[in-house]
Amino acid sequence: MSLSITLIAKLSRVETALARRAWNTIGSLDEPSMKPPSDFRSAEGARCYALASYVRSSPGQFYLGLAGLIGFPTVMVFKYGYAWCEWVIRYGHHLLVLSGMMHG
């Protein structure tokens, strides 16, 4: 099974079979501007078809953006994680006392 089809199915919250059909339908179109079949004109089908169309037309952008969604928070955790933990250890007790969750 293709990684692209699996990601399309997961991100658009549809079954893998529908994502595969959308992928194959877009691949068989002569022109990208053609109207989608009736199965893909509403609700989950439209979301799946749009995502498959985007992945087919610019896979580099899709995968780079997906890597950024994973990479950016990871970099932030490694860059600022130690400072944040240090801050929580130093001032966390004061915040709990001020919020009333901890006494004294």
Q: What is residue 54's three-state secondary structure? A: helix
Does residue 80 lie within any of the structural domains?
yes
Structurally, how many domains does the chain consist of?
2
Same domain, 78 and 52: no
Does residue 44 lie within any of the structural domains?
yes
Same domain, 36 and 80: no
Same domain, 4 and 48: yes
CA distance 48 to 31: 18
Output the tens digit of pLDDT for each of the chain's 104 residues.
689 999 999 999 999 999 999 999 988 887 777 888 888 888 889 999 999 999 999 999 999 999 999 999 999 999 998 888 888 888 877 777 777 766 65
Does residue 62 lie within any of the structural domains?
no
Q: What is the CA angle 51-56-69, rounded to 5?
A: 55
pTM greater than 0.85 (yes/no) = no
Beta-carbon count within 10 A of 12 CB: 19
Same domain, 48 and 22: yes
C-alpha to C-alpha distances, 28 to 11, 37, 94, nearest whole angstrom: 22, 12, 63
Q: Domain of 100?
A: 70-104
Does residue 36 lie within any of the structural domains?
yes
Burial class (CB in 10 A: 0-12, 13-18, 19+), 8: buried
